[in-house]
């Protein structure tokens, strides 16, 4: 498809388990962003990539969270030892460049529920 | 660091009535301003953005917003709403210094009624 694709759309996992969330950006977009949206809140920035490297990971809440983008396209957000507080919708966005004036296109998100 | 305040969590309005969704921001640096809309079961979609120039910005679906630097506001308006405008609306800012890292408000649920 032409838009940002995120899989799975829903993920239920048990507390303590490891999960991976995948993002396929729009083809040709060099910048990729991860956000987390908790219930009743706006999206919160986690990390952004310019190409293969993480340009800013200041939003990652702790060392249980990690993200990669090995070939500069698809990205995976990895969460270790999940906790109930990690339950949220995880949003991915991509843009042509990393300039603040370039439009970011969002995927539909992955709803993560930790039970 | 920046912050965004959307004071109204819900705004009910009748169809064909005008609406204003309020957004105030706080920042120690220059910012760009955005409004995004999230329809049920869909991703965030950009409505409009202010980068520079004219403080009145027109976006898609008949929406517009006005940047007021002295009041640090960027309120969203539409003169006549439609049922299809029912959605969650998010105001966001980013640092003009580089990177497209957005800081969002908590959102305003617009509910258009017949």
Q: Each residue of A19-38: pLDDT tens digit?
A: 999 999 999 999 999 999 99
What's the mean pLDDT in A66-74? 96
Output DSSP code: residue A103: P
Q: Which of B32, B96, B104 sits opposite A42 (nearest CB)?
A: B104
pLDDT of residue B52: 87
Are the beta carbons of B6 and B22 closer than 8 angstroms? yes
> Nearest chain A Cα to B9, which residue?
A40
Is residue A1 pLDDT above 70, yes or no? Answer: no
Question: Which of B34, B44, B46, B104 is the best residue to mutate to test the A interface, defined by the most A CB atoms within 10 Å of its own CB?
Answer: B44
pLDDT of residue B41: 82
pLDDT of residue A53: 92
Cis check for the bond before B73: say yes or no (omega within 30 of 0). no
> Nearest chain A Cα to B89, which residue?
A42
Is residue A99 pLDDT above 80, yes or no? Answer: no
Q: How far is B79 from chain A (nearest CA, A)?
A: 25
**Alpha-carbon dihedral angle through residues A73, A78, A84, A89, given to the nearest 10 degrees:** 0
Are the beta carbons of A52 and A70 closer than 8 angstroms? yes
* CA-to-CA dists, residue A44 to A27, A48, B80, B99, angstroms: 24, 12, 31, 15
pLDDT of residue A20: 98
pLDDT of residue B99: 66
pLDDT of residue B98: 61
pLDDT of residue B29: 87
Q: Which of B41, B99, B105 sits opposite A56 (nearest CB)?
A: B99
> Nearest chain A Cα to B44, which residue?
A106
């Amino acid at each position: 498809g032409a838009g940002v694709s995120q899989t799975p759309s829903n993920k239920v996992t048990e507390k303590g388990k490891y999960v991976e969330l995948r993002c396929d950006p729009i083809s040709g977009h060099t910048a990729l962003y991860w956000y987390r949206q908790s219930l009743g809140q706006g999206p919160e920035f986690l990390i952004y990539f310019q190409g293969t490297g993480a340009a800013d990971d200041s939003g990652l809440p702790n060392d249980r969270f990690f993200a990669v983008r090995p070939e500069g396209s698809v990205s995976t957000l990895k969460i270790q030892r999940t906790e109930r507080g990690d339950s949220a919708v995880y949003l991915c966005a991509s843009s042509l460049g990393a300039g603040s004036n370039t439009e970011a296109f969002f995927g539909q998100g992955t709803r993560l529920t930790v039970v | 660091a920046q912050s965004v305040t959307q004071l109204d969590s819900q705004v009910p309005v009748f169809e064909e009535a005008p609406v204003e969704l309020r957004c105030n921001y706080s920042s120690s640096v220059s910012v760009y301003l955005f409004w995004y809309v999230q329809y049920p079961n869909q991703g965030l979609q950009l409505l409009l953005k202010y980068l520079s120039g004219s403080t009145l910005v027109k976006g898609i679906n008949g929406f517009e917003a006005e940047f007021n630097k002295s009041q640090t506001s960027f309120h969203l308006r539409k003169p006549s709403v439609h049922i299809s405008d029912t959605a969650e609306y998010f105001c966001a800012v980013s640092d003009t210094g580089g990177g497209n890292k957005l800081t969002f408000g908590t959102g305003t649920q617009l509910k258009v009624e017949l």
